[in-house]
Structure 1
Amino acid sequence: MTKVINVLDPRTGDRVTQVPITEPADCDEAIRRAAEAAPGWARTPPAERAAAIAAAAADVRAVARELAELNERETGKLRDDALGGVDAGVGTLMQYAQLGPLHRGRGLQGGWSATDLMVPQPRGVVAVLTSWNDPVAVAAGLLGAALVTGNTVVHKPSERSPQTGRRFAELLAARLPDGVLQIVDGDETVGTRLAEAERVDVVAHVGSSAAGRDIARACAERGAKVLLENGGNDALIVDADVDPAWAAGQAALGAFANAGQICVSVERIYVVQSIADAFVGALAGEAASWAERIGPLVDERHRDQVHAHVEDAVRRGAHVLAGGEPGPGPGAFYPPTVLTDCTPDMLVMSEETFGPVAAVRMVPDFASALAEAADDRYGLAATVLTADMAHAQEAWHSLPVGTVKINNVFGGAPGGASQPRRASGTGFGFGPELLDEMTTMKVVHWSPPA
């Protein structure tokens, strides 16, 4: 009997859809089809590959509201936020359509009659396993970069947003030759099968660090390349010389946007003692104003995990200034929550909570904040709010994370890359550098015959 995924509406608990899990034989068939399509797609002129991606981007834009509605029903993401994710995905596809044909190569002159060519080539079959919290925008980056550089792809959308992920991927596949983009549905068992498949050359995964470790181990055993973006425990440092009300607004945006379900959400806050009282008072007020502006968490299982982190903090001495209890009634709602007197041993400070929880720790000075923020096993991103140029310089140099944002929790130019570290993953995500990750350089030495 075929196993199925039941997707429930996080607002009501009603069933949204039931998706069959791809059988092992069908998963293997998808890999086979992608592998057989790989030589032909690699030979396709880069401009033609780019044109197909650009055409698919236009198709996605044309059904943006449909995709946003699917996303809202499956994950509870607010409609405008879901539309923003689709727009971001379209922009990413267009970026790779423009950059793909220009992807670099170079020549080296040896002797007068000899030349070394360095040419990027596709790696082969890429398995792309994406997350539910922004299913279109995240998939657009990995799929776009893999396809435009001549790889074929087997894509598994998250089991928490299977309809959104499949509909998006189908729009791309419709513009591509047969076999170039294959789609499978399933849970971690399907992801494991893709990671262990001998004919898969690259596994790109966005999800939990536990799953990422298993994928990295499987890829290491057979020599496949792995790209991982496995979340983070992003710190926010609030220096003594900033306006507390403004800083509280930044903290609330970072902690509460999309109900805290963003890979680079603010997870832990270090505020210098001299402005701590004014800051936490303003942050509690921000939490109240955000209460009507966030949707539910993705499901009740995730809500229970978020609440377990809050309960752990309270047991260990944290105080609740706002929120702290699941919302009444049906669904997976959790209110914007502010915790003070947090300590490093609490789960809200040491692990990724991935919910609308602002965990605040008061520290004596900026140096202490910087030292504690750096003492973490994750390495995705961090934010520093300061008017002191020397402090800003010291922070971006010393924080062991892939991205440091100064005075803007969600700052960053379009097209910028990110490179997680340590438990947060490995390899570039987005940006021109992702094209390098999806290709391998071949050196050709060319000399005349003797």
Structure 2
Amino acid sequence: MQTYDGLLAAVTAHEGQTQEVRDPATGAVIGHAPVHSVEAVDRAIETAAAAAASWAAISDADRAALLHRAADAVEAHADALVELLSREQGKPLNGPNARFEVGACAVWLRAAADTPHPNHEIINDESGRATMHYRPIGVVAAITPWNWPLMIAIWQIAPSLRMGNTVVQKPSEYTPLSGLALVRILNTVLPEGVLQSVSGGGDLGARLTSSPKVGKIMFTGSTATGKKIIEASAEHVTRLTLELGGNDAGIVLPDVDAKAIAPDLFWGAFINTGQTCAALKRLYVHDSVYDEVVAELVAFARTVPMGVGLEEQNELGPLQNKMQYDIVDRLVQSAIDSGATIECGGNPEREAPGFFYPTTIVSNIDPHNPLVVEEQFGPALPVVRFSDLDEALVLANELEVGLGASVWSSDREKALDVAARMESGTVWINGHGGLHPMIPFGGAKQSGYGKEFGAEGLKAVAVAQVVSG
């Protein structure tokens, strides 16, 4: 088991160019992350490609066993990982934050190991026999974001390894230390060359996504960057799984118990201080319960402390970077300028250290205000009033994104009817954003394509081959 100081020293040891990494809650310098060259990316790809055949030749059972050992390694180093994650990303230790994320890494590693292999017999009768096999692709590029830098990395790495691929991971330049630390821990278990990590800016990602030796690209991030990856992948027809922008809608029907649903509504929107692709980002509430839902949301919001992540009492933290802070600030200001009501928050302490933006709930807002139609990706929730369900569905569906959505009702059948009319990859009933390692997840429209998790996730990182005869 490595201490925080030991783990930090290991991932910052680098003789070349580095970048300063600061705690978004305090502004303090954490350390200096390596900035690798594009030549280093090429070497990592070559190393992964050289290891691919021997890794693919290992039995599926042995690869699964190694994933279990990797989960054990994550748990053995959990305290150091949690502290590094909290310092670098800003998320608090408690609530659905740093300890939760590190724990989820072990859970998803084991789930990827234990999911039944998707090979299966298609037909076996008098007409003949055919079987479906899922073969390794080769090298997978895993390009991971700054909001959940460990958990999303595992979502990409674990199934890729299970299916016999080798991986080159590039963490976000905003959270490089967490990504490097995770790979270092996994590599205490994995054979040499199977998992590589490179740290740096967008030029490294561009090198990965244009390489002819990369057979699959997995990317979680903005729709704009996803479109660039699609273009880069076209020359070599590289396989893609893209989980892109969200701006998820929730619809609250008139039969709800406002007080009962308020905590789940809140955490659906404000998990990870709103910095989650599948968070609830715009809420449509029926007029008959609108005032009560807003009041209960505000009341609950006032009970959830925000502050420095390493202080045990906090459950909300800062925005991870100045870019995201400025986006949230601009969008809330657009609501204020339009005459919308700021029920709580909306007035950050601009001279205070850290990128803290107060928990903000906005009512009486025009459904086409920028805070509603642009993804804020932060702790500000617009609540839109509606009286006609058909009109609410038009508003919920009119954007070009469709990652997740939710319906809130005490009548399950009614909720299911509404869910069927929502244009998104996942629709939750009386909850929002909950994920399970066996339930496939992925977006519709410009929120990307491809599924992750469970058997569908394993198939997505393999080449399907039919053997007939």
Distance 1:157 1:123 in 2: 21
Write the letter of the residue equivalent to 2:325.
Answer: R
Match of 2:332 among 286, 297, 310: 310
Q: TM-score, normalised by structure 2?
A: 0.90
The correspondence of residues 38-187 of structure 1 with structure 2, limited to 5 A, is 38-80=52-94, 81-99=97-115, 102-106=117-121, 108-109=123-124, 115-187=129-201
| 1:418 equivalenced with 2:413 (yes/no) | no
Deviations 1:275-313 (A, max 9, x none): 112222222222322244411111222211111111122
Shift of the alpha carbon at 1:415? 2.4
Answer whether contact 2:249 2:280 (CA < 8 A) is retained.
Answer: yes
For 1:237, the aligned partner's letter is: I
**Distance in 2 of aligned mates of 1:107 and 1:68:** 45
CA contact (8 A) 2:437 2:453 kept: no
Aligned match of 1:30:
44
Q: Per-residue deviation at 1:434?
A: 0.6
Q: Displacement, 1:181?
A: 0.8
Query: What is the aligned partner in structure 2 of residue 276 from structure 1?
Result: 290
Residue 413 of structure 1 and its aligned partner are, at CA, apart by: 4.4
1:296 is aligned to 318
1:11 and 2:25 correspond: yes
SS in 1 for 2:319: coil
Rounded to whole Å, the distance in 1 between the matches of 2:435 and 2:467 is 38
Q: Decide whether the 8 Å contact of 1:124 with 1:201 is kept in 2.
A: yes
Identity of aligned residues (%): 36
> Per-residue deviation at 1:109?
4.2
Which residue in the other structure is 2:397 paired with? 374
Task: Please show how residues 342-361 of structure 1 align to structure 2 within 5 Å.
Answer: 342-361=365-384
Kindly state the Cα deviation for residue 411 of structure 1 after the two structures are TM-superposed: 3.9
1:387 aligns with 2:419: no
Please give the root-mean-square deviation of Cα atoms over the aligned residues, in Å. 1.9
Match of 1:398, SS? Answer: coil
How many pairs align? Answer: 444
Unaligned runs of 5+ in 1: none
Q: 1:140 deviation in Å?
A: 1.2
> Does structure 1 conserve the Cα–Cα contact (< 8 Å) formed by 2:133 and 2:465?
yes
In structure 2, what is the Cα distance between the partners aligned to 1:59 and 1:182? Answer: 17
Normalising to structure 1: TM-score of the pair?
Answer: 0.94
- Deviation larger for 172-181 or 333-342: 172-181
Give the drift of 1:12. Answer: 1.1
Residues 327/75 of structure 1: CA separation in 2 closer, same or farther (3 Å cut): farther
Divergent runs of 4+, >3 A:
1-4, 107-112, 114-117, 410-414
Letter of the aligned partner of 1:6 in structure 2? E
The correspondence of residues 238-257 of structure 1 with structure 2, limited to 5 A, is: 238-257=252-271
User: Within 1, Cα distance between the matches of 2:457 and 2:228?
Assistant: 22
CA deviations 1:124-152 (Å, max 9, x no partner) are 11000111222221111210100010001
Shift of 1:414: 4.6
Structure 2 residues without counterparts, runs of 5 or longer: 1-14, 307-314
- Is residue 300–residue 331 contact of structure 1 (8 Å, CA) maintained in 2? no
Matched position secondary structure for 2:410: coil
Q: Deviations over 1:93-137 (max 9, x none)?
A: 01111226x33232544768x644432101111000111222221
Asked if 2 retains the 8 angstrom alpha-carbon contact of 1:240 and 1:366, the reply is no
| 8 A contact 2:280–2:433 mirrored in 1 | no
Larger deviation, residues 288-297 vs 175-184: 288-297
Q: Secondary structure, in 3 states, of the residue corresponding to 1:253? A: helix
Change (3 A) 1:185 1:413: closer
Please give the per-residue CA displacement for 1:323-381, whole angstroms capped at 9, x wherever unaligned: 11223510011111011122233222112111111101111133322221122211111
Preserved contact between residue 129 and residue 155 of structure 1 (Cα < 8 Å)? yes
Tell me how far apart the structure 2 counterparts of residues 69 and 30 of structure 1 sit (CA, whole Å): 28
What CA deviation, in whole Å up to 9, does each residue of 1:7-38 have, x standing for no partner? Answer: 21111112212212210111101101111111
Choose which of 431, 446, 451 in structure 2 pairs with 1:408. Answer: 431
What does 1:318-329 align with in structure 2 at a 5 Å threshold? 318-328=340-350, 329=352
